[in-house]
Structure 1
Amino acid sequence: MNAGNVTKVSSKITSKNQITIPKTVREFLKVRSTDTIEWQIEPNGRVMIVRSKPDLWQLVDEQEKKFGNLSTTEVDWGKDVESEDFD
């Protein structure tokens, strides 16, 4: 962003040192509640917040929660109703 297109938003730090990421920032970074962000701190004191790309093992964990893993038992749907004969 150049200096002419700067949007400023603010948020407060709670007593537990937590902040809520403002909606404007979440929408700009396209982040959701399960995403990870990175805080990049430069030597001059400037802090940049960027969306973090998940590593392979984060993706594996998400897929395992959603679909199970090799040791997950299959669902028994019961006896097949139709025959396997085709016309």
Structure 2
Amino acid sequence: MPRYLVERTFPNGLAIPTNPDGAEACGGVVLRNAEGGVTWVHSYVSPDKRQTFCIYDAPSPEAIRSAAKRSDLPVDKITEVRVLDPYFYH
């Protein structure tokens, strides 16, 4: 399955509490993603919490956009990516 980097902007910052409410919010995203065969692998968040860079496995960029819409998440850019491992060359 292809892997993608999904860039998002949150003008007011991303606010996910580190408590059961935050866990429930993330779990809901995972469930809604699964409806379209999309898997959220992990995300990186900028220090100001206004940008995220998320790694997803998905059948297509359109599947990611549909999943984001179901979760009311923005999508700025989707780029198909592959792993480059520096240890591969040793």
In the superposition, the TM-score normalised over structure 1's length comes to: 0.25
Which structure: greater strand fraction?
2
Question: Comparing both chains, which one has the higher relative contact order based on Cα–Cα distances under 8 Å and sequence gaps of 6 or more?
Answer: 2
Radius of gyration: which is bigger?
A: 1
Which structure: greater helix fraction?
2
